[in-house]
Amino acid sequence: MWASGLRKRYRRRQAVDDVTFTVARGEVVGLLGPNGAGKTTVIKMLLGLVRPDAGEIMLLGRHGTDPASRARIGYLPELFRYQPWLTADEVLRLHTRLAGAAVPAAEQRACLGLVGLADRAGDRVGGFSKGMQQRLGLAVALVARPELVVLDEPTSALDPIGRADVRDLLLSLRERQVAVLLNSHLIGEVERVCDRVVILDHGRVAASGTLAELLGQRELRLRLEGVTPEAEALLDGAARDGDAFVLPIRDPDDVPEIVAGLVKLGVRVHAVEPGRITLEERLLEVIRAGEDR
C-alpha cells in the first residue's frame, strides 16, 4: 500500500494535509495520533470511502481509484455495524460475494471460529453485543483472504481477552505475509505488534519510522545533589521529574563522560539509571512539539 500527498479539507478545516506513507507486505504499521488528527479520514481515503482533494493511492499494485484495487483488502471500520437482519454467516457470505472471492463455507465458518463466534453463526446480528459485532467485523475483514488488512480501532469494544486475541491475530497475519495497517489508541498494543509507526498530528505526518528509530532516543535518570549553575549548563535539555533530572542521550557510551563531568564540577551523584523512552512518551513529545509550533 502506497499513499502520497493525501489532502482533504472539510469546509474550513484541513483534516489531512500532505500525508505520505507506505505499508509493505508482511509489515504491521501503526497509525497513531490524538483525536481529530485525521487517522480515520486517511484510512477512509485509502479505501475509496472519502474522496481526497489531492494525492495518489496505490493498493496491491493497482491505482486506488479502481475499485478492483480493493479486491484483496479486509477492513474493519471504526464504526462497525453489519446488517442486523442477517445472521453472522450470512454477513460473511455477503462479503465474500462482494469481494468476488470463492471461499468455501467451511473456511467462512473457520473464520467465525477464529474470532470466537463459531457458536453464534446462525444468530441474527441485531441481537449481538457491541463486542460481538466488533468480533464479527474482524471476521468480515479476514474472510476474503486479504493481502492487506486495515483495522480502525479494532479493540475499542473488546474485553482484555479479546484484545489479546487480536494481538495474536495480528502476529499470525504478519507471519502469513499479510500487510496490516492498524489505527489504535492503545499504544501498548501498537508497541507490541507494530514494525513501524506513523504519527499523525493536525492532519500531517508528525513522525514516522520503525520502533527502533522512533524510540532510539534513550534517556538518563540522575539523582543529584549540589548542582551548580555550571553543572546545570552541562545538563542542558534535561527535564525535572521530582528530585531527578531526566536527560535525553544519543548513545549509552556517553554515560560515563556525563557522570565524570558532573563529579568534576563538584556535584554529588546518588543514582544513575539509563532507560529508554516509551512509545507513549515519544507520542506525547511529538504532539506537544506540534502544539508549541
User: Where does this chain bind another protein (CB under 8 A)?
Assistant: 44, 47-51, 67-71, 73, 75-77, 79-83, 85-86, 94-95, 97-100, 137, 140
Q: Three-state DSSP class for 231?
A: helix
| The three cell numbers locating residue 251 | 548513545
Q: Whole-number minimum distance, CB 166 to another protein, in Å?
A: 17
Close Cβ partners of 234 (under 8 Å, ≥ 6 residues apart): 258, 261, 262, 265
Taking the least distance from each CB to another protein, the nearer of 70 and 202 is 70
Q: Which is nearer to another protein, 70 or 196 (CB)?
A: 70
Instruction: Enter the C-alpha cell of residue 156.
Output: 475499542
Beta carbons within 8 Å of 30's beta carbon, 6+ residues apart = 182, 183, 184, 190, 193, 194, 196, 197, 198
Closer CB to another protein, 67 or 242, in the complex: 67
DSSP string spanning 48-93? Answer: TSS--SEEEEEETTEETTSGGGGTTEEEE-SS----TTSBHHHHHH
- Comparing CB distances to another protein, the nearer of 48 and 116 is 48
Burial of 108 (0-12, 13-18, 19+ CB in 10 A): buried
Q: Least distance (Å) from another protein to the CB of residue 151?
A: 12
Distance CA 152, CA 244 (A): 39
Q: Helices in 74-186 by DSSP H: which ranges?
A: 88-99, 105-114, 130-143, 160-175
Q: For the chain, state the CA radius of gyration.
A: 23
Nearest approach, Cβ of 16 to another protein (angstroms)? 12
**Residue placing its CB nearer to another protein in the complex, 141 or 214:** 141
Smallest distance from another protein to CB 46, Å = 9
For residues 125-152, one letter each, b for 16 or more C-beta atoms within 10 angstroms of the residue's C-beta and e for the rest, the string is: beebeeebbbbbbbbbbbbbbbbbbbbb
The distance of closest approach from Cβ of residue 81 to another protein in the complex, given in angstroms and rounded to an integer, is 4
The least CB distance from residue 13 to another protein, in Å, is 13
Nearest approach, Cβ of residue 178 and another protein (Å): 16
Q: Would you say 82 or 245 has its CB closer to another protein? A: 82
CB of 62 to another protein, least distance (A): 10
Closer to another protein by CB, 72 or 174: give it. 72
* Residue 236 CB neighbour total at 10 angstroms: 7
Taking the chain, what is the end-to-end CA distance rounded to the nearest angstrom?
Answer: 31
Cβ proximity to another protein: between 44 and 196 the closer is: 44
In single-letter form, the type of residue at position 111 comes to C
